[in-house]
Amino acid sequence: MESSIKQRSKLPVIIVANIGTTMKEAKDNVSLILDIIKKHNIEHYYIHCDAALAGAYLPLIEEDPKFDFKNGVDSITCSGHKFIGSPIPCGIVVVKKRNKGNLAHQYISYIGSLDTTINGSRNGFTPVILWYIIKQQGRKGLHKNALESLELAEYTQNIFQELGIASYRNKNAITVVFPKPSEFICKKWQLATKDDYAHLICMPGISKEVIDNFFFDLSKDINLS
């Protein structure tokens, strides 16, 4: 990235920082990105953080999650159907006030309004669902869910270790990565896989009993093979 910026130092820079990749929940270092931008005297830049999963819980467990607006970020997206638990796929985008106007500038004559999510043709029910969940659980409830998910991820890692199966988890991640098991296990447990590895995401609502049942099947499958 730095090499690319250096070669184009007179051009504006747009960066999408990943705050939790899909398979391994790895996180880009926003502070390092900003240091590189400042090092090469980039005057105009925009940093967007894709925090689909981790954006809903990291700010609750880290005093400074490093991808906040005070850290130089311009916008953040977060899914509502992942950690928060909306039954309908949806997402949230939060932007700095000065960038808000760029999101709704097209005037639609037949509705007599700007093209915005609430006034447009997009699903208006999902914001109500998110509002309800957040109001119902509150910061304390979501924080409790975050701590329980992290505890379950650690519990999962410990069982992998007891079974002699290599696994790893990024810092403050609820995703546990491990070697891809048999097709039978992958299909039965609907595991997401890539290349030679798979993952378990310890979402709120997943109990230790579910994890134990998974390991029962995995152990039996390993012994049979």
User: Do 123 and 150 reside in the same domain of the chain?
Assistant: no
Inside any domain, residue 164:
yes
From CA 156, how far away is CA 196, in angstroms rounded? 19
CA distance 131 to 136: 8
Do 93 and 14 lie in one domain? The reply is: yes
Say yes or no to pLDDT of 112 above 80: no
Q: Any residues with CB less than 8 A from the CB of 63 and at least 6 apart, and which?
A: none
User: Is 110 among the domain residues?
Assistant: yes
In a domain, 224, yes or no: no
| Longest alpha-carbon distance in the chain | 67
Whether residue 49 is predicted with pLDDT greater than 80 in this model: the reply is yes
Which of 36-40, 82-86, 102-106, 140-144 is least confident?
102-106
Within the chain, strands assigned E span 13-18, 45-50, 75-79, 91-95, 107-108, 113-114, 175-179, 192-194, 197-201
* Whether residue 209 sits in one domain with residue 105: no
| Residue 159 and residue 73 share a domain | no
In a domain, 135, yes or no: no
pLDDT tens for 61-104 read 988 888 999 889 999 999 999 999 999 999 999 998 887 766 66
Q: Which of 130, 153, 185 is the last residue of a domain?
A: 130
Residue 55 maps to a domain:
yes
- Chosen domain end from 62, 95, 130: 130
Digit-coded pLDDT (tens) for 151-209: 999 999 999 999 999 999 999 999 999 999 999 999 999 999 999 999 999 999 999 99
Residues 165, 185, single domain; the answer is: yes
In a domain, 225, yes or no: no
Q: What's the pLDDT score for residue 104?
A: 61
Instruction: Quickly state the pLDDT bin for 219 (edges 50, 70, 90).
Output: very high
CATH code assigned at 24: 3.40.640.10
Domain enclosing residue 118, as ranges: 2-130
pLDDT value for 105 = 64
Whether residue 117 is predicted with pLDDT greater than 70 in this model: the reply is no
Model-level pTM greater than 0.85? yes
pLDDT of res. 185: 97
Identify the band that residue 124 occupies on the pLDDT scale cut at 50, 70 and 90. confident
Within a domain: residue 11? Answer: yes
Give the separation between CA 102 and CA 177, rounded to whole angstroms: 39
Please give the tally of structural domains in the chain: 2
Question: In this structure, are 10 and 98 located in the same domain?
Answer: yes
Q: Which of 130, 158, 187 is the last residue of a domain?
A: 130
Residues 31 and 114 in one domain: yes
Asked if residue 108 and residue 126 are part of one domain, the reply reads yes
